[in-house]
């Protein structure tokens, strides 16, 4: 069965600094998608970034970028120039190409220090 592991329950970063959240996953599939979702205190899940496994190039969305290492099954999220509004719970997630089900990691709570 596919699993998603986030080994950092909590992290803190100084405002304007850069932080990297770790995620590893386990799958025997070759075609899949990986996601990072943000859940702020409002509890609304927000898609931060998405990576297709067949793409070698790392996805980037403004201050957010990923380091996708397919062979190592690693998918870390880098947040540059951290802002107070980035404080939230971040979930790494996986979905097979042929399935709709999203499997979430346990999350990393990110604190932004002013």
Partner 1 sequence: GAVVSQHPSWVICKSGTSVKIECRSLDFQATTMFWYRQFPKQSLMLMATSNEGSKATYEQGVEKDKFLINHASLTLSTLTVTSAHPEDSSFYICSARQGPNIQYFGAGTRLSVL
Site residues (vs partner 1, CB under 8 A): 33, 37, 42-47, 50, 91, 100-107
Strand pairing partners for 113? 14
Between 10 and 15, CB nearer to partner 1: 10
Q: How far is the CB of 92 from partner 1 (least distance, A)?
A: 10
Between 50 and 70, CB nearer to partner 1: 50
Helices (runs of H) and strands (runs of E) counted in the chain: 0, 12
Between 46 and 113, CB nearer to partner 1: 46
Between 47 and 113, CB nearer to partner 1: 47
Q: How far is the CB of 83 from partner 1 (least distance, A)?
A: 20
C-alpha separations of 87 from 58, 61, 73, 91, 108 in Å: 23, 17, 26, 13, 11
Shortest CA distance to 19 belongs to which of 69, 94, 86?
Answer: 86
C-alpha separations of 2 from 14, 16, 25, 103 in Å: 34, 35, 7, 8
Q: How far is the CB of 44 from partner 1 (least distance, A)?
A: 5
Q: How far is the CB of 89 from partner 1 (least distance, A)?
A: 8
């Amino acid at each position: 069965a596919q699993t998603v592991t986030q080994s950092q329950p909590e992290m803190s970063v100084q405002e304007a600094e850069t932080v990297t959240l770790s995620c590893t996953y386990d799958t025997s599939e070759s075609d899949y998608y990986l996601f990072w979702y943000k859940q702020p205190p409002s509890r609304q899940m927000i898609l931060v970034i998405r990576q297709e496994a067949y793409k070698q190039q790392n996805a980037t969305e403004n201050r957010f970028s990923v380091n996708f290492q397919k062979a190592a099954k690693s998918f870390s999220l880098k947040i540059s120039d951290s802002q107070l509004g980035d404080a939230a719970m971040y979930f790494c997630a996986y979905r097979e190409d042929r399935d709709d089900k999203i499997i979430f990691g346990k999350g990393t709570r990110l604190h932004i220090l002013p």
